[in-house]
Chains A and B, each alone.
Chain A
């Protein structure tokens, strides 16, 4: 029997939350084991995995956040989860949402990166099932995470009557509208560099573009400071392995960016500076495009369906405008792009 009372749903989450908490501690056996496995599968450096676990895994969500997650989640007879690769910590929130929906949760992990789901399962035995294939039936719900291509494939192969909650491809952006003091700007850039470096920028929350308001902030200074910060950060948070295809994409981006603007080396990655409002989406792997524009919000508008999160620095009224303009995006402070409140799916777009 699927108990849908709030208390029952809250209770179902507890073992999972505890399992996550025990992974964060690098000195524990589970913490050490998790780091070894995640380094092997994710391609991230050991420091990158450790930083992601410490910074982004929701080990201590607040009760209001948990309540919001539960209340925003519809119930289901069976909740299925299809996990994606790359952002391993995402498994935690995805499984939590499914547990809020049903006592019967079946999780199909990414075949390339199954570790996090297995680690969470080991720490919360019996809480959910790991399956190798999805077997949803009418009346079930499926929360699916991955590329748009995968979402389309899933949507076309689901049996009738299964409700799909699809969370596809997206990107993050950062907006600087007002020139803060030099100290504050340095802090913003340092925080942004961490947002970029997390998961080597492979997630849908990862910032790929910075928009600065022309005549208020110097895009050129932001680009050069960010390049220096990323290079500095890489010394203590090395970039992990990239695939040959990813390296090829970076070579293409670097030369394209050089043609349309300017490029600065930023450790292993690059920061490009767009001239004349030139848009460019850099490939993942710690590359970011800085764009000067008279109205950053207007410049982002065509990409509304793709925007998952936006870090903002500027006037409160403009922040409200940003929030209204992109209701599907999470608007946050710099340094918080990769750790949104544990109040539901990170991706709030209506897909």
Chain B
């Protein structure tokens, strides 16, 4: 079987797994994908060899460090076969990582399936807007692409072009408060639930614009917040941001749900907090606890040995994402996590070796890497 035929077969198998087909288990699929990547990705083959990984257990799959996406191509095929290329924001360092995809159906199906379960509080149509800049074409931001997919899918009225100014409520002048009010009116008029998709820094910008004012949104509104601040604005503690956003919009804090995603991943994790959502019914967890979809597993590992830590201990997240069929099925992040009841508790990014004396830190160096 050719490389692409094998890839197509694995994509289909992952989508079937996500839809509940038990023919192949998570571990079987993860190991099949890892073996496929070892065969067609020289970098991953070297990594497996150096770690003496036999790929017999999921824990044997070495995580590809996120830095590799910034410094090399992480893909099993040539560039000519890419259909989508997502780039990391690169705002804290000059080098931007790229995650390219040949098969987009898997990304779409996995993102929509878990997004629906985490974000939709009812079966009613939703009106979806983004506190984000208008999506570029072709999309280069995985987050923006996902937001556009949610806009079309969650409104339940067939296909339409989501790239319209009234849905993307940030421009050079900042947050479009009037646009948000119009979206709220429209949702009320049409009997829809309003879903606001926002980055954390956009929410801070919105709060700054509002000052002491409130901007009440319909009572059943859901706000999805995601991402860090990446030097774009002043930082606010996540719990404080949640409380202030809820207060400004007149919502309960459970209606502010956090998403965890990365350009290097195909899949996303969510807090299981939205009242009425499928995810909240299945796995109600505390604030800050992220639920994994069945096709993704977070393994906290020791930062030095990269071996899994005992259950309940803090480690850095190695993420096995079956959606990453053609890139890296396991990625190694520097995010500190602990497995708790209901999912994964995010504890922030592991500090790199602190700047001691005058030796150059790696982040400082990366800021100078030519794009």
Interface positions of A (Cβ within 8 A of B): 84-87, 110, 112, 145-150, 167-171, 201-204, 206, 208, 243-249, 251-256, 258-260, 262-263, 276, 278-281, 283-284, 302-303, 305-306, 347
Contacts and interface: CB of A to CB of B under 8 A. Distances in A.
Contacts of A201: 359
Contacts of A251: 303-306
A247 B316 CA distance: 14
Interface centre among A148, A203, A281, A302 (most CB of B within 10 A): A281
- Main secondary structure on B side of the interface with A: loop
Contact of B64 (A248, A259, A278, A347): A259
Interface stretch (B175-183, B273-281, B348-356): B348-356
B65 A259 contact: yes
Contacts of B236: none
B219 interface: no
Given A248-B303, A248-B304, A280-B71, A259 B44 contact: yes
Nearest to A308: B358
Nearest to A280: B71
B67 A256 contact: yes
Contacts of B366: 281
A146 to B, nearest CB: 6
B357 A86 contact: yes
6 closest Cβ pairs, A-B complex: A86-B357, A147-B355, A248-B303, A204-B358, A259-B43, A281-B365
A168 B359 CA distance: 8
Nearest to B362: A281
B368 A202 contact: no
Given A256-B67, A259-B68, A259-B72, A249 B360 contact: no
A150 B71 contact: no
B368 A306 contact: yes
8 contacts: A112-B356, A147-B356, A202-B356, A245-B352, A256-B71, A281-B362, A284-B353, A306-B368
A171 B354 CA distance: 16
B357 A202 contact: yes
Interface of B: 43-44, 46-47, 50-51, 62-65, 67-68, 71-72, 74, 303-306, 316, 332, 334, 350-362, 364-366, 368-370
A149 B355 contact: yes
A305 B365 CA distance: 10
Contacts of A254: 50
Contacts of A110: 357
A167 B306 contact: no
A252 B359 contact: no
Given A244-B303, A255-B62, A87 B68 contact: no
A136 to B, nearest CB: 20
B358 A146 contact: yes
Contacts of A203: 357-359
A258 B350 contact: no
B294 to A, nearest CB: 27
A202 B353 CA distance: 11
Contacts of B350: 245, 248
B359 A86 contact: yes
Residue of B72, B334, B370 contacting most chain A CB atoms (<10 Å): B72
A85 B72 contact: no
A203 B305 CA distance: 26
A249 B353 contact: yes
Contacts of B47: 255, 258-259
